[in-house]
Amino acid sequence: MNTPIYDFVSKYINDDVTRLHMPGHKGKGPLGFEKMDITEVFGADALYQASGIIKESEDNAAQLFDSYKTFYSTEGSSHLIRTMLFLASRGKADGYILAARNAHSAFASACALIDLEVRWIECEDSYLSCNLTPEKLEKALTCVDKAPFCVYVTSPDYLGNMLDIRGLSQVCHKHGTLLLVDNAHGAYLRFLEKSKHPINLGADMCCDSAHKTLSALTGGAYLHISKGASQLAAGAKDALALFASTSPSYLTLCSLDKLNAYLATDYRKELSDFISLVRREKNELCRLGYTLVGDEELKITIRAKEYGYLGTSLADVLARNNIYCEFCDKDFLVLMVTPQNTKEDLDLLVNVLRDISKKEPIMECLPKVSLPERKMSIRQAIFSQSEEISIDEGLGRVLGCLSISCPPAVSVILAGEVLDKSTIEACKYNGITTVMVVK
Ligand SMILES: Cc1ncc(COP(=O)(O)O)c(C=O)c1O
């Protein structure tokens, strides 16, 4: 597979041109890595009006993922979630989205920007996961007065749980609605022996953060549109431009471009070998008494309290051994691995975890949170005057900021919703002491 963006930028460097354009470092600033950081100069194409090397590279990516169209972003899945929701909602002013509640805060910010009405599918498991089955979705869509313009789910979620995207997409299509998937954590799923990528399983649109599980530079992400939803592609570039910076990073574009060649050749085999290794290490952790959750191959998620520790305590032990996790809270420790990790990395992890002795399980659990009452739209709430108060004084008040920032950006309560006893308890459990409320 060719690499037109990378080739162009490499030639640009070798030609040693006089750069009378942005960026200010002119390719030779004090940092040492400025050379490849160019801008949309003549011949370099333009990300949101692509007709040259960027289009060629995006077409390569579409071929790799077997999508109808794949578009690049250098601003992550957050940018693409806004774009997907805009595309799905265009011309549907009185419509609504049906969304699984464990949505990332980028979803809430998209709803605020576009002023979308959301109806939630409650998550019974925890605020990080939502066990939405095709049967549950069928029931939800049968009960509604009118079909939503799209159903929105997150799969894989932050803990590594995956939904039955094929089943969910069949239900959506039966009810005449689109399935949109936040696949930020699942770009690699396409390259499993049998693809589990949402766009190959019937989703109409999805976004992948190529920087999370593949080797793109930070911000590198794909918007995929399926062959079945080809009508959405015509407006995609304009929609991308609506929410994006006018200065895309060519470093990140080069990384997406070069990644195509790697994905088309060595990656599948490397991934398959690496997954066998990860499975062996996961089995060893189970043998040691750790409880693992999630079905995703490239995440190792430990339910820490069952081993007698908080997730944060396990993360501290790892950090003392120079191992840094993706995420931890009281309940979970989440480790993300890719074929760029070595067997030595995994062995070190297992050895450090082996040296931690198992204790009696910690019984304290995350307070059960029921879906908060909605007083106003997300947009109305964040545009209202707000004030900061102690969480203890929050009962009955309406959240005035987008979400409450408990990592990893999945909130127990969103702007416009009323703080009740259970949400206050959940916030305190997550160490939140103050909250912004509508005045
Ligand atoms: C589930 C999920 N969706 C979306 C995002 C946003 O992705 P990005 O960081 O690529 O903008 C994240 C980021 O962590 C995420 O975890």
Residue 257 lies in a domain: yes
**Cα-based angle 282, 285, 289 (whole degrees, multiple of 5):** 140
Ligand 1, from 85, 104, 325, 326: best to mutate by most atoms within 8 Å of Cβ?
A: 104
Say if 373 falls within a structural domain. Answer: no
Task: State whether 237 and 298 are in the same domain.
Answer: no
Position 369 in a domain: no
Which of 249, 264, 279 is the last residue before a domain boundary?
A: 264
pTM for the model:
0.96
Whether 256 and 305 map to the same domain: the answer is no
% of residues, the chain, pLDDT over 90: 91
User: Which residues, other chains included, contact 70 with Cβ-Cβ below 8 Å and sequence gap of 6+?
Assistant: 58, 59, 61, 62, 64, 222, 223, 224, 225
Instruction: State the distance from the centre of ligand 1 to the C-alpha of 77, rounded, in angstroms.
Output: 6
110: CATH: 3.40.640.10
**Regarding beta strands 386-390 and 434-438, do their DSSP bridges make them parallel or antiparallel, or are they unpaired?**
antiparallel
- Torsion angle in degrees (nearest 10) through CA of 182, 60, 27, 221: 0
Nearest CA to ligand 1 atom 9: 76
pLDDT class of 406 with cuts at 50, 70, 90:
low
3-state helix, strand, coil in the chain (%, to 5): 40, 15, 45
Q: Are residues 276 and 251 in the same domain?
A: no
Domain that holds residue 301: 269-354
> What digits encode the pLDDT tens for the residues 126-167?
778 899 999 999 999 999 999 999 999 999 999 999 999 999
Beta strand segments in 226-303, E: 292-293, 299-303
Predicted confidence at residue 365, as pLDDT, reads: 84
Residues 286 and 221 in one domain: no
Q: Do 255 and 276 fall into the same domain?
A: no
100 lines ligand 1 (CB under 6 A): no
Q: Are 43 and 54 in contact (CB under 8 A)?
A: no
pLDDT digits (tens, 9 = 90+) for 242-269: 999 999 999 999 999 999 999 999 999 9
Answer yes or no: is 370 within a domain.
no
**pLDDT tens-digit map of 208-220:** 999 999 999 999 9
Confidence of residue 346 (pLDDT cuts 50, 70, 90): very high
Distance 39 CA to ligand 1 centre (A): 26
Q: What angle do CA 44, 46, 47 make, to 5 degrees?
A: 120
Q: Are residues 181 and 326 in the same domain?
A: no
Structure confidence at residue 125 (pLDDT): 67
* Band of residue 407 on the pLDDT scale cut at 50, 70, 90: low
Residue found by looking up tokens 């079945």 in the block:
228
Mutate to test the pocket of ligand 1, among 73, 107, 111, 185 (most ligand atoms within 8 A of CB): 185
Could you tell me if the CB of 106 is within 6 A of ligand 1? yes
Best of 72, 73, 78, 159 for a ligand 1 pocket test (most atoms within 8 Å of beta carbon): 78
pLDDT of residue 29: 85
pLDDT-based confidence at residue 24 (cuts at 50, 70, 90)? very high
| 217 CB within 6 A, ligand 1 | no
pLDDT tens profile 268-311:
999 999 999 999 999 999 999 999 999 999 999 999 999 999 99
Shared domain for 32 and 155, answered yes or no, is yes
How many structural domains comprise the chain?
A: 3
3-state secondary structure (DSSP) of residue 395: coil
- The verdict on 340 and 228 lying in the same domain is no
Residue 361: inside a domain: no
Regarding the beta carbon of 331 and ligand 1, being less than 6 Å apart is answered no
Domain boundary residue among 264, 284, 310? 264
Instruction: Let me know if residue 366 belongs to a domain.
Output: no
**Is residue 291 situated within a structural domain?**
yes
Together in a domain, 311 and 349? yes
* Shortest-distance atom of ligand 1 to CA 221: 10
Q: Are residues 247 and 211 in the same domain?
A: yes
Same domain, 279 and 253: no
